[in-house]
Amino acid sequence: MRARTIGLMASFIVAASLTGLLAGPAEVALPQNYQATFNNYLDVDRYDRKRVRKMYVNRAAHDAAKAGGDLPDGTVLIMEDHDAKTDADGNLVVGPDGRLIALEPVKHVFVMEKNSAWSTDNGNWDYAWYQGDGSPRPDAKYAGCFSCHANRAERDFTFTYWKFVSDQQK
């Protein structure tokens, strides 16, 4: 390939990345070892889906987050989906704490990351979907992540974390 073509392709890739066309795992990596290093700020019991969703945030962003403000550049939020325990009839089982019981292994890992280099149309956020084993979800589509999370633009595009920070009055 001629050098000029390679140069053009490289600038296209940079432009695509800046405008958010490179959604998904190409931009948003799955953080290694997040279960040990991130803060598990919330668990959501989804009776309708028979799932437990564990929410995590990276500690540096959590330390810097302030109630009512935009979340810090570099915030990484993870939603980890587990099947919830059911009895032999398929009814959900509740633990002694009144909460649903998360089964292993992890089913899905949804990641959203904020990077000031990415499109401001989406509040600098981009999204990726990984399988429980850490590999990218092969048939993932990302338009839905952007459009549904845009419903929470006033909470910096998050459903749970911005509210969590505000409720803590950090």
What is the DSSP pairing of strand 51-57 with strand 125-131? Answer: unpaired
Coil, strand or helix at 150: helix
Q: Does 77 bind ligand HEC (CB under 6 A)?
A: yes
What are the angstrom distances between the C-alpha of 61 and each of 3, 105, 160?
A: 41, 27, 15
Which tokens sit at 14?
């940079």
Quick one: 8 or 28, whose CB is closer to ligand HEC?
Answer: 28
What residues contact 153, with CB distance under 8 A and at least 6 apart?
123
Quick one: 39 or 159, whose CB is closer to ligand HEC?
Answer: 159
Stretch that binds ligand HEC, among 13-21, 63-71, 72-80, 85-93 (CB under 6 A): 72-80
Strand partners, 120: none
CB of 169 to ligand HEC, least distance (A): 19
* Residue spans of alpha helices (H) in 19-159: 34-37, 59-64, 143-150
x/- mask, ligand HEC, residues 89-128, rule CB under 6 A, reads ---------------------xxx--------------xx
x/- mask, ligand HEC, residues 32-51, rule CB under 6 A, reads ------------x-x-----
Quick one: 17 or 52, whose CB is closer to ligand HEC?
Answer: 52
Q: Does 145 bind ligand HEC (CB under 6 A)?
A: yes
Stretch that binds ligand HEC, among 62-70, 87-95, 114-122, 141-149 (CB under 6 A): 141-149
What residues contact 160, with CB distance under 8 A and at least 6 apart?
41, 42, 44, 55
